[in-house]
């Protein structure tokens, strides 16, 4: 059994005159959202052994911020390949994950993260859940379970949770 947590990075600051898209840091509201999501994941017992994230500043800050809440603290891996990656590029990274990792988290960008969440959903969820997955705003989280032994077999999973930061206590 494998668990995959997909998260879109938290709200980032707008482009400044000298900023690149990749260098945009989290907005103060994004930092607050990461703290709220991290606390919720911890309270609900969601763990991750590894967080793979894009090497953009906003995804890196999101991943590192979550580490403060997860116990034991997961390893993190920032990848250029996940910067503005398509759903198929993200899935290729997931497929390459070691089978010893049972709980994996991926922090990325839209539209790739939202598209992947829709593609991975096994269809057992309501139309409302599918509509929610399409939106996937900043800090949104989708959690899937897969009845597989190797990540290379991840094709279709059961959506166990979909959460928006504004819906969290």
pLDDT tens, position by position, 132-160 = 677 889 999 999 999 999 999 999 999 99
pTM: 0.94
101 exposed, middle or buried (CB, 10 Å; 0-12, 13-18, 19+)? middle
| Domains by residue range for the chain, with CATH | 2-13+23-167 (3.40.50.1240)
pLDDT tens, position by position, 38-59 = 999 999 999 999 999 999 999 9
Question: Is 110:136 a contact under the CB 8 Å cutoff?
Answer: yes
Question: Is 97:41 a contact under the CB 8 Å cutoff?
Answer: no
Question: Is 119:4 a contact under the CB 8 Å cutoff?
Answer: no
């Amino acid at each position: 059994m494998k668990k995959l947590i997909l998260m879109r990075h938290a709200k980032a600051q707008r482009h400044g005159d000298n900023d690149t898209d990749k260098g945009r840091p989290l907005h103060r509201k994004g930092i607050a959202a990461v703290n709220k999501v991290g606390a919720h994941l911890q309270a609900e017992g969601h763990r991750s052994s590894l967080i793979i994230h894009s090497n953009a500043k906003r995804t890196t800050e999101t991943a590192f911020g979550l580490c403060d809440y997860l116990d034991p603290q997961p390893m993190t891996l920032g990848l250029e390949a996940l910067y503005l990656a398509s759903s198929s590029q993200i899935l290729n990274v997931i497929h390459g994950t070691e089978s010893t990792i049972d709980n994996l988290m991926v922090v990325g960008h839209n539209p790739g993260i939202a598209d992947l969440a829709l593609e991975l959903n096994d269809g057992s969820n309501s139309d409302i859940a599918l509509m929610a997955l399409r939106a996937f705003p900043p800090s949104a989280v989708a959690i899937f379970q897969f009845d597989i032994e190797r990540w290379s077999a991840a094709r279709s999973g059961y959506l166990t949770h979909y959460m928006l930061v504004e819906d969290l206590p």
